[in-house]
């Protein structure tokens, strides 16, 4: 055999060795042929076939000994050239196993029992097609890079498996090479699905309709559209707020309607020679329909059947006896300036949403409210629940009805204060007003239902990309805790409802209600009237609501309890319900300029209350600073500070949070603050301040001087904490004025978004931070700091598209949480979207090297020892060329380049070893590849001798 040998791919080489001296001799061959593992043999001769050019030339080594034990060694090089023309790639069969109540993830291009997929010519390969539904009905999704998601929960056959039973399911996928004349190959994937004891048993938590079904349990869940991802587009989706709240019952009073919002951006992935591009509604439609996760934590909640009830979601669309109009009209028409008509809504249809730009009235164009036909000119659109045509039976795609090139954010009202603007180039698809409620189709409480959002080609109607995203909605306000009788609250038992209520009656006898019927209870009031409601939970909530109205009437001389069908915002302005973005407004049905805002009424009033029994004890105590050591102590150790905590087994932090923010906001059971911030120990007060700070808003002078806005005070929804309030800088660049900062242990991030000693909790602004939100100059010449949810970053992508929704920044600490589903589908793991290949092809033109990514990042890509044809080693091998180009490396890796929290690996990373002087054990042992575990603070010393 010549040395070196030169062959064509697909050919074999015969190796023969001889050892001098007398026999017996020993032979130990180690031959690299581009496979997963080298070929080894102890024979004197063997034949090896070379099926790939990737990694050529290959080394073949023989180590031998003669009869006296003397060693010898020889090597030969084999160069493998591509065959003439193009050779088809090879897709190898794959085998996996999973239990019925779990989602399988993996990579079909890797070695899954039969070897890794490869291309004999060394071309790059990608997945170009797959069965979206398996033979047995499971949901399949495969990205272009081979990332697999297989969900048996979509198959009734697989969900019905019992413990000890199993079935083998199959599906196929196709790979193609990137040759100018591409060829492809198809392989079959086999998945062994094992039944488990206590599996889902046919139950799923899906929310397709908001219509009640009081007749009993349903036979089966509604069908779900296939999860399809062609690999040509990426679909980034987010809820705007991270939590929407809605009342369940509307016959007494309402704070918020069922009204939810999704924003989506569609990215046409770049190719080898071009960068990704955002696409708009001229070429793509975006839809949503109900979906579910087989691992949904809500599956542990009680169904309506288990409670012995029908499925009650809301009475929002009901017309009650004695009423001329449905509840939605009775309650919300005062806020619509005559735009709302009694025929506008049918069940499962949401409130009309006007175009914010048409409402602007700020010089861009006249307000549609001033035109001859406001209903037509305001371009009202309405969203539907997917089951509207046949509730509990169908699950139809619903359209994102708007594409917002720009977005009006209170420009007419707040533009002159430097708080409002028309946000340019938002470029998102919008579905506004989705009337979701926090009850699934089997009557479970589920604040985090999933919607399957899909991008569809307008011309071919082909689904291009799919992402399951949380549509968060909660009704946990717990007014009962103070405004209902403790004996009544005791009727809510964990055995039936899965939770209990601790009610202290603090609000019941502060005001004399005897002239108004007295205190309402489950047993009725002093006039014999009973609280209305279909379910026990509904009746208990309505006792509290009636008591609130009676207290308001007794204190302020109103007659709200006799009116009912009240929306609080008709008097107490709320930006959440200001679709016209006009600010506090008086009309025949509203008196918003004459009363304090809803935020001030709730936060300011309650934040000042003390206990009836102990006037030194705050009902809604303040949260200790995040660096105060008592925060994590048992509250029982600090009864001198929290005397009402007698008998509590909570920490100080947990107790204060439950007694303050979570007395009204959905937290005790819903955990609406649930993302990365919550996992890091951040609580509401660390960002927003305590209740009195939140309530000290612009409307304080309204009762004395109607409409006299005080711009020096907080403006709800506009003056909010930002990313830059805690992420004030990077590892080497921090603000000069650090007064009042409370730093985390890393000395990079803050633990509180405002300075110590600031009673107003004014958010810190760090405009020079690489994590700062956008700034724009509005049409009145004012610089406006945009909110996180209105900002965008790399490539014009909205911040929420990569980081997740406000209050739910990825990842959620519960690995099974529905919040983690979207990121896992998009990039293969939970957490911030950090994989460049979601949008880019890893080539010099498709993903240029440098620090030009989001927040100054460099490309993130892995070596792949299993499928080297698709590895991106460019940054791994060339990053030294960029180490002295500005402060980029130091910003995240630290001034000593040892790594910081900003350089943590978002997932396990495989790198090619270049020397053995670093701390990675594989490199020290002389191996070719090493794994940097997820969470590692990456620094030079992992792979190299640390010089600093």
Question: Is the model's pLDDT at 341 over the cut of 50?
Answer: yes
> For position 6, what pLDDT does the model report?
85
pLDDT in tens, 225-259: 999 999 999 999 999 999 999 999 999 999 999 99
The Cα 586–Cα 469 span in angstroms is 38
Positive or negative, the Cα torsion across 888, 893, 895, 900? positive
Do 5-81 and 94-202 have matching folds? yes
Contact 546, 532 (CB under 8 A): no
5-81 fold: Immunoglobulin-like (2.60.40)
Whole-angstrom Cα distance, residue 80 to residue 495? 70
Gap between the Cα atoms of 695 and 689, Å rounded: 10
Pairing of strands 253-254, 566-567: parallel
CA–CA gap between residue 454 and residue 434 (Å, rounded):
16
**What is the Cα–Cα distance from 390 to 388, expressed in whole angstroms?**
6
pLDDT tops 80 at residue 364: no
Question: How big, in percent rounded to 5, are the helix, strand and coil portions of the chain?
Answer: 20, 20, 60
Q: Give the residue, 887 or 423, on which the prediction is more confident.
A: 423
**What does the pLDDT read at residue 16?**
87
CB atoms within 10 A of CB 343: 8
For residue 204, the tally of other CB atoms under 10 A from its CB is: 22
Q: Give the separation between CA 620 and CA 231, rounded to whole angstroms.
A: 51
Residue spans per domain, the chain: 5-81, 94-202, 478-574, 842-942
Model pLDDT for residues 812-836, shown as the tens digit of each residue? 999 999 999 999 999 999 999 999 9
* Measured CA distances, 238 to 244, 335, 679, 790 (Å): 13, 27, 20, 12
**What does the pLDDT look like over 100-143, one tens digit per residue?**
878 898 999 998 988 889 888 888 899 989 998 899 988 898 98
pLDDT of residue 360: 64
Of 432-441, 856-865, 892-901, the poorest mean pLDDT is in 856-865
Across the chain, which distance is largest between two alpha carbons, in Å?
117
Q: Counting Cβ atoms within 10 Å, is residue 271 exposed (0-12), middle (13-18) or buried (19+)?
A: middle
Average pLDDT, the chain: 91
**Is the model's pTM score more than 0.85?**
no
Alpha carbon distances (Å) from 876 to 521, 676, 852, 904, 926: 69, 29, 16, 16, 17
Residue 702 contacts by C-beta under 8 Å, 6 or more apart in sequence?
A: 584, 593, 594, 595, 596, 597, 708
94-202, CATH topology level: Immunoglobulin-like (2.60.40)
Q: State what percent of residues in the chain have pLDDT above 90.
A: 66
Q: Per mean pLDDT, which range of 22-36, 268-282, 635-649, 780-794 is the poorest?
A: 22-36
Residue 199 reports pLDDT greater than 70: no
Q: What is the pLDDT of residues 403-423, one digit of tens each?
A: 999 998 988 788 788 889 999
Lowest model confidence (mean pLDDT) among 282-296, 755-769, 881-895: 881-895
> Which tens digit of pLDDT belongs to each residue from 201-228?
347 899 999 999 877 555 568 999 999 9
Phi/psi of residue 230, each to 5°?
Answer: -80, -15
* Whether 194 contacts 152, CB under 8 Å: no
CB within 8 A of 613, min separation 6: which ones? Answer: none
Beta carbons of 827 and 820 less than 8 angstroms apart: no
Could you tell me which residue, 490 or 418, shows the higher pLDDT?
Answer: 490
**What number of other Cβ atoms are within 10 A of residue 490's Cβ?**
12
Task: Tell me the average pLDDT across 773-788.
Answer: 94
């Amino acid at each position: 055999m010549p040395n070196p040998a030169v062959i064509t791919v697909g050919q074999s080489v015969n190796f023969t060795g001889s050892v001098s001296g007398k026999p017996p001799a020993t032979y130990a061959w180690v031959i690299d042929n581009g496979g997963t593992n080298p070929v080894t043999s102890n024979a004197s001769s063997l034949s090896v076939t070379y099926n790939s050019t990737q990694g050529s030339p290959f080394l073949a080594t023989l180590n031998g000994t003669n009869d006296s034990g003397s060693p010898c060694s020889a090597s030969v090089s084999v160069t493998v050239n591509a065959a003439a023309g193009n050779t088809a790639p090879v897709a190898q069969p794959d085998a996996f196993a999973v239990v019925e109540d779990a989602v399988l993830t993996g990579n079909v291009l890797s070695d899954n029992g039969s070897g890794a997929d490869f291309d004999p010519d060394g071309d790059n390969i990608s997945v170009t097609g797959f069965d979206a539904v398996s033979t047995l009905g499971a949901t399949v999704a495969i990205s272009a890079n081979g990332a697999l998601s297989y969900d048996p929960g979509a198959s009734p056959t697989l969900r019905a498996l019992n413990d000890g039973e199993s079935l083998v399911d199959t599906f196929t996928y196709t790979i193609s090479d990137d040759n100018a004349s591409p060829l492809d190959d198809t392989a079959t994937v086999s998945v062994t699905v094992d039944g488990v004891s206590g599996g889902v048993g046919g139950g799923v938590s899906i929310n397709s309709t908001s219509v009640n079904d009081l007749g009993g349990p349903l036979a089966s869940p509604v069908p779900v559209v296939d999860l399809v991802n062609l690999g040509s587009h990426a679909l980034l989706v987010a809820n705007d707020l991270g939590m929407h709240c809605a009342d369940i019952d509307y016959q007494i009073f309402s704070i918020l309607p069922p009204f939810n919002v999704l924003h989506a951006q569609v990215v046409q992935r770049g190719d080898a020679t071009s960068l990704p591009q955002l696409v708009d509604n001229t070429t793509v439609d975006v839809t949503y329909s109900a979906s579910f996760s087989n691992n949904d934590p809500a599956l542990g909640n009680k169904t309506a059947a288990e409670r012995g009830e029908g499925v009650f979601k809301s009475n929002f669309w009901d017309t009650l006896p004695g009423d001329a109009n449905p509840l939605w009209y009775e309650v919300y028409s005062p806020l619509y300036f005559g735009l709302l008509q009694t025929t506008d809504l049918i069940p499962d249809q949401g409130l009309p949403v006007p175009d914010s730009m048409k409402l602007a009235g700020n010089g861009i164009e006249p307000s549609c409210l001033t035109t001859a036909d406001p209903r037509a000119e305001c371009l009202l659109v309405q969203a539907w629940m997917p089951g509207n045509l046949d509730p509990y039976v169908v699950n139809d795609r619903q359209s994102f009805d708007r594409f917002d090139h720009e977005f009006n954010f209170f420009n007419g009202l707040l533009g002159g204060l430097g708080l409002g603007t028309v946000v340019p180039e938002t470029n998102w698809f919008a579905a506004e007003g989705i009337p979701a409620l926090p009850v699934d189709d089997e009557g479970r409480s589920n604040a985090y239902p999933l919607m399957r959002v899909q991008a569809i080609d307008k011309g071919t109607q082909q689904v291009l990309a799919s992402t399951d995203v949380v549509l968060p909605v909660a009704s946990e306000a717990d007014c009962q805790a103070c405004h209902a009788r403790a004996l009544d609250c005791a009727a809510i038992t964990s055995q039936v409802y899965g939770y209990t209520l601790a009610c202290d009656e603090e609000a019941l006898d502060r005001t004399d209600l005897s002239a108004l019927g007295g205190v309402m209870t489950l047993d009725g009031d002093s006039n014999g009237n009973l609280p209305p409601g279909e379910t026990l939970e509904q009746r208990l909530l309505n006792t509290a609501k009636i008591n609130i109205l009676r207290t308001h009437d007794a204190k302020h001389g109103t007659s709200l309890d006799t009116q009912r069908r009240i929306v609080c915002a008709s008097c107490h302005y709320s930006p959440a319900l200001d679709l016209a973005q006009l600010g506090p407004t008086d009309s025949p049905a509203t008196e918003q300029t004459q009363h304090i805002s809803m935020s001030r009424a709730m936060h300011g009033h309650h934040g000042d209350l003390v206990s009836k029994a102990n006037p030194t004890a705050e009902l809604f105590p303040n949260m200790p600073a995040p660096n105060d050591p008592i925060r994590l102590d048992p509250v029982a150790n600090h009864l001198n500070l929290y005397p009402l905590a007698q008998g509590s087994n909570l920490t100080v932090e947990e107790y204060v949070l439950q007694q303050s923010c979570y007395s009204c906001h959905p937290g005790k059971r819903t955990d609406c603050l649930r993302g990365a911030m919550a996992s890091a120990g951040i609580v509401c007060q660390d960002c927003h301040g305590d209740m009195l700070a939140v309530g000290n808003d612009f409307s304080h002078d309204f009762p004395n001087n109607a409409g006299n806005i005080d711009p020096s005070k907080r403006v709800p929804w506009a003056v909010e904490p930002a990313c830059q309030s805690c992420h004030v800088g990077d590892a080497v660049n921090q603000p000069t004025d650090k007064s009042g900062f409370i730093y985390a242990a890393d000395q990079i991030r803050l633990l509180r978004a405002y300075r110590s000693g600031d009673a107003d909790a004014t958010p810190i602004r760090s405009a020079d931070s690489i994590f700062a939100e956008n700034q724009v100059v509005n049409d009145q010449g004012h610089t406006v700091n945009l909110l996180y949810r209105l900002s965008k970053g790399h490539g014009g992508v909205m911040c929420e598209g990569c980081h997740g929704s406000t209050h739910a920044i990825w990842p959620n600490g519960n690995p099974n949480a529905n919040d983690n589903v979207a990121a896992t589908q998009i990039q293969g793991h939970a957490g911030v979207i950090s994989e460049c290949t979601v949008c880019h092809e890893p080539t010099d033109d498709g993903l240029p090297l440098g620090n030009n990514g989001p927040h100054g990042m460099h490309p993130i890509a892995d070596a792949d020892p299993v499928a080297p044809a698709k590895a991106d080693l460019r940054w791994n091998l060339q990053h030294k060329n960029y180490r002295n180009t500005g402060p980029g490396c130091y910003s995240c890796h630290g001034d000593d380049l040892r790594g910081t929290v900003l350089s943590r690996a978002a997932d396990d990373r495989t790198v090619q070893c270049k020397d053995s002087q670093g701390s990675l054990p594989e490199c020290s042992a002389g191996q070719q590849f090493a794994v940097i575990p997820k969470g590692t603070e990456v620094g030079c010393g992992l792979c190299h001798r640390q010089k600093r």
